[in-house]
Amino acid sequence: MLDKIIRIATRQSPLALWQAQYVQSQLMACHPGLQVELVPMVTKGDIILDTPLAKVGGKGLFVKELELAMLDGRADIAVHSMKDVPVEFPEGLGLVTICEREDPRDAFVSNQYASLADLPHGSIVGTSSLRRQCQLRQKRPDLVIRDLRGNVGTRLSKLDNGEYDAIILAVAGLKRLGLENRIRTALTPEECLPAVGQGAVGIECRLDDHITRELLAPLAHRETTVRVEAERAMNMRLEGGCQVPIGSYAELTGDNLWLRALVGAPDGSQMVSGERRGPAAEAYSMGVELAEELLANGAREILQEVYQGNAPR
Ligand SMILES: NCc1[nH]cc(CCC(=O)O)c1CC(=O)O
């Protein structure tokens, strides 16, 4: 077992490298003597950076090359932000481990203003996430929302250049990159319901690689796994593809799971939301049932508009 080497396929953005190195150090701490190497890769998503993600094929662009490397045996595992992991996996691969969640909230980042409420009428806010856009617009229809892409450092420099009055980023990403001081306020789940899996890191590998799966087992965090399972079941039932105006967030207290979800029109004109409470063992079915309730309450029509590219923004 100790002469085993684990190779981690990773993108080279600072956040992807942080996540890969986090898993590398956790694995080495759990298994003294185990060798763990990073296999840095470039994905299509890294190359096509100027087009809104929804138009170029979505988040899958960032994971395909990593998955091919695992299937070809050039790498053993890939580490993902759970919110970027597509709902389906290629044959032979699967998500086997979910690590402990970092702060799941969204962050309000600005150089002049301390909070969303402080933004003057007509301020320009940067985010390309339809989920963030619809929730911002619902609360503040006066704001001007502009697309904002690139990795976390790029987004912050566009804010600093004066292109935006404020931007919204995930708290987790900023913390991991040592940029916590840029957070003016964390938005509560009531202000902006987080994305499926936000703040959690997951590990994908070949399902028949039992040695690797056994080595990964101690990195799993039970509470996070239950929460993310409920959130992902919700998303799966909604067929939430690449870029979607869906928030899905679960909290677990003892055995009590509380799942909240919303689907909104990107222009903030409509929003359907709901919640479910139940025991942890029912995480999956709670997610599916909540999704069905939202679909029946108008989410189906909202999502159809978004998928057909007709939704006003
Ligand atoms: N969509 C990009 C992305 N994917 C994961 C994170 C970091 C937070 C996380 O792990 O959920 C970010 C940056 C952001 O949304 O600000």
Helices (H), 36-76: 44-47, 53-56, 64-71
Task: Please give the single-letter amino acid code of residue 232.
Answer: R
Query: Is the same domain home to 181 and 250?
Result: no
Q: Is 236 part of a structural domain of the chain?
A: yes
pTM of the predicted protein model: 0.92
Banded pLDDT at 239 (limits 50, 70, 90): confident
d(Cα 131, Cα 123) in Å, to the nearest integer?
A: 19
- Pair 99, 18: CB distance under 8 Å: no
Instruction: Say if 194 falls within a structural domain.
Output: no
Residue 49, pLDDT > 70, answer no
* pLDDT (0 to 100) of residue 70: 97
Over residues 202-220, the mean pLDDT reads 97
If asked whether residues 82 and 210 sit together in one domain, one would say yes
Residues 69 and 23 in one domain: yes
Determine the pLDDT at residue 51.
Answer: 56
Complete DSSP assignment for 105-161: -EEEE-SS-SSGGGSPTT-EEE---HHHHHHHHHH-TTSEEE---S-HHHHHHHHHT
pLDDT of the residue at 47: 74
Ligand 1, atom 10: closest residue by C-alpha: 199
Residue type at 95 in one-letter notation: L
User: Lowest-confidence range among 25-39, 82-96, 137-151, 299-313?
Assistant: 299-313
125 and 59, same structural domain? no
Domain span at residue 270? 231-303
pLDDT at 86: 79
Q: In terms of domains, do 180 and 209 share one?
A: no
208 is known as an active-site residue? no
- On whether the CB atoms of residues 288 and 272 are closer than 8 A, the answer is no
CATH number of 134's domain: 3.40.190.10
Residues 156, 213 within the same domain: no
* Residue 59 forms part of a structural domain: yes
Looking at the fold, whether 19 and 163 belong to one and the same domain comes out as no
CA of 1 to the centre of ligand 1 (A): 34
Q: Quick one: 173 and 209 in the same domain?
A: no
Which amino acid would we find at residue 160?
A: D
Choice between 168 and 51, residue whose per-residue pLDDT is larger: 168
Q: Quick one: how far is CA 81 from the chain centroid?
A: 6
Residue 135: inside a domain: yes
pLDDT tens per residue across span 61-80: 778 889 999 999 999 999 99
* CATH number reported for the structural domain that contains residue 296 in this entry: 3.30.160.40
Distance 33 CA to ligand 1 centre (A): 32
Catalytically annotated residue among 84, 106, 209, 267: 84
Q: Nearest CA to 243 among 74, 108, 57, 63?
A: 57
Tell the burial category of 213 from Cβ atoms under 10 Å away from its Cβ (0-12, 13-18, 19+). Answer: middle
Are residues 58 and 166 located together in one domain of the fold? no
**Number of alpha carbons in the 13 Å side-chain half-sphere of residue 276:** 27
Statement to judge: residues 96 and 212 lie in one domain: yes
Residue from 22, 63, 81, 196 to probe ligand 1 pocket by mutation (most atoms less than 8 Å from CB): 81
Query: What pLDDT score does 2 carry?
Result: 59
Q: Which of 155-169, 232-246, 247-261 shows the lowest mean pLDDT across its residues?
A: 232-246
Domain membership flag for residue 60: yes
Q: Pick from 169, 38, 52, 11: which is nearest to 103 by CA? A: 169
CA of 151 to the centre of ligand 1 (A): 9
Q: What is the CA radius of gyration of the chain?
A: 19
CA distance linking residue 287 with residue 79, whole number of Å: 24
Q: Are residues 180 and 244 in the same domain?
A: no
Residue 258 lies in a domain: yes
The single-letter code of the amino acid at 200 is A
- 193 occurs within a structural domain: no
Which ligand 1 atom is the nearest neighbour of the CA of 83? 11
85 and 204 assigned to the same domain: yes
Task: Collapse the DSSP code of 26 into the 3-class scheme (helix H, G, I; strand E, B; otherwise coil) and give the result.
Answer: helix
How many domains is the chain built from?
A: 3
Determine, yes or no, domain membership for 176: yes
Query: What pLDDT does residue 17 have?
Result: 97
Pairing, β 124-126 against β 166-170: parallel
Which residues' Cβ are closer than 6 Å to ligand 1? 15, 81, 83-84, 152, 169-170, 172-173, 198-199
